Structure 1
């Protein structure tokens, strides 16, 4: 916190998080307000996700060739323009599923370039021995507003409509863009090769680190099982076996509280075996899936969600620190992009498999399968020797 540039970076995260926490509620009701249903919302979310997945590798290459602060500036500016366009469409009553999908696509393109660039910012601003606390501090604003942001967003949308909440999100992206431009971080030294050669070199670096590709392979299964279970089946089980939206809101709030608690844990606990901690704590995501699948009482589900949130945030902070300490700065953008793409690859297939399995199995049975997948992927990852060798620097 004594580093002015890091304080600026942290402030940009705080400003942007206040808008991003309200945006999902506002976007959903912008789609509903123009007469759309689940199908329309699915189209919009797909339009946002696919460009990110397709362009992440290009974003990783660019993050290692250009100024990362300029990439973040342009990316946040693009997201601001996209959200402002949706706000105008909602305010004027001219929103359609197609128009909102175009804006969502532009937001996805921006995310594809900002995500790899953001991964390498903290390592440019603070010494390696302080990276874990720096990464934890960066996550504090987003996790804090996740607890109250959706509630505030729902209130604003119910009183004024979605346009104001979307407009606020656009404004926060714009302010964050200006703050990030002020970092003025130079780009990495060019390799002298073309973008495709840089991409091949990044792939070679990715394959040469067994701790990196094995964690990514395990993450492919873990992330897909988690999203298919918690995000897709969780609300259905809450509606059928608990008290519906009220219960699911409590579960989501418990998970968000766990994320915030996990961030605070990382500010005071500095484990030496970072990689092992990262693998083990991420396994906590199987607990709420198992609790819902077993039909446990709501207090047990809430407790499991809190533990999962704590574990997930500890894993995220530890993983960011590992990447920043054990990957050279000139490769960080590309290797982060390969990891991000790998962890997202199986998500569409997982959604499809759940849809097919639901014709033969109950949602609770599928949730137990998802929990088992996370458990097995974790056990397999713990069999990799380098998991025990990668430790915290300093």
Structure 2
């Protein structure tokens, strides 16, 4: 089935040669970079805030759950809002809400009043902020750059944020070691404030509102289900994300500790994966495939590589190569997918379609961890890794059998009725 809808949103009448020549895009890019810098330091600071408050693994689990649950629960509400109000104002408000949560948490930690309940409450507010901003963020680029520039713009957005993922945790660790977690949390709050001011300056108009919020949600579900390529990709992605994160994030460190040099090897694997992400963004700056979804689905299968390498006990150099290739594949899949999504879905539906897509993948994370944790007691870690890798390959292979995946092609002009 081909995508249908109205125009994909206002774009500059004469498109510059590069998205970087568009002032509004540069502002959005800077906002994303500033926010990502603080967010990269926050997990480490949060963990040590919980430890400093006397909590252990159980308390940290409660805090992480308090942050994750509201993101899933309120994501659909965020999608409806993204199609009803100004996305720049919504992003600004969400970043200010996150800044308030992190600022209060930093103050609690600095004054010695932090405990598990209060930290979890701040995490809950942060999760709500993510739910409100994530769908809106997907609908910004279509209003800033021309359709033919979307892939390059998406790749340019991922380059600095991927770099921050490498540098941010190191900087956060140094800041926590020198000044304590309150300083890192406070800096994270300031980055959210700076990002909010930058995003407010975009001054994006509000989409046309036709009915009530519930009617919009029902119409969004109808639109989501009518696009076979969208819901099948979401379903396959949900399974794939669960298998990869469970195998890589949960079992990876365990296998590295038992069969390799422990934390040293796993740190190198993480570094190789991050390097691959950077390389993948660079690939997408040059390579512009016509069948965007076919590339996105096929590239996703590369996530099985490090799981197979760990299960087979390959030598460290081969393990690092597999991790780097997986990073390249993940970023190529991410850029081509979001470009196809932005080109094929009309502007006034982007928020809701993004919310439906993200709900499945976010639910997959805790489900995947739970299933693997249960089965790891009955089977060896390497056996579970093989199963996770097989699931990734099977999910991508089945998705490639969907005819509509092959029908979605790159657009060089605006999406028009019946295209």
| TM-score band w.r.t. shorter chain | over 0.9
Deviations 1:287-335 (A, max 9, x none): 1111111111121111111111111111111111111100000011001
Task: Say which of 356, 361, 370 aligns to 1:343.
Answer: 361
Q: Is 1:313 aligned to residue 326 of structure 2?
A: no
Q: How far apart, in 1, do the equivalents of 2:387 and 2:380 lie?
A: 11
Q: Give the whole-Å Cα distance in 2 for the aligned partners of 1:112 and 1:118.
A: 11
2:59 is aligned to 40
Q: Which residue of structure 2 aligns with residue 222 of structure 1?
A: 240
Q: Structure 1: give runs of 5+ residues left out of the alignment.
A: none
What's the counterpart of residue 369 of structure 1? Answer: 387
Larger RCO (CA under 8 A, 6+ residues apart)? 2
1:85 aligns with 2:104: yes
Q: Which of 192, 198, 203 is residue 173 of structure 1 equivalent to? A: 192
Q: How far off is 1:349 after superposition?
A: 2.4
The match for 2:220 among 186, 202, 210 is: 202
Structure 1 residue 105 corresponds to structure 2 residue 117: no
Residue 177 of structure 1 aligns to a residue in which SS? helix
Q: Which aligned pairs between 1:225-304 and structure 2 lie closer than 5 A?
A: 225-304=243-322
| SS of equivalent residue, structure 1 residue 26 | helix
Report the alpha carbon displacement of residue 210 of structure 1 after superposing the two structures with TM: 0.8
2:208 is matched with: 189
Matched with 1:121 is 140
1:3 pairs with 2:28: no
Cross-structure match for 1:133: 152
Structure 1 residue 359 displacement after superposition: 1.4
Moved over 4 A (4+): none
Quick one: distance in 2 between partners of 1:270 and 1:387?
Answer: 17
Q: Which moved more, 1:172-181 or 1:146-155?
A: 146-155
> Within 2, Cα distance between the matches of 1:88 and 1:328?
43
2:13 maps to none
Pairwise CA RMSD of aligned residues?
A: 1.0
* Aligned length in residues: 393
Q: Name the TM-score, length of structure 1 as normaliser.
A: 0.98
- Give me the TM-score of the superposition, normalised by structure 2: 0.92
Answer yes or no: is 1:23 the counterpart of 2:26.
no
C-alpha distance in 1 between matches for 2:382 and 2:175? 35
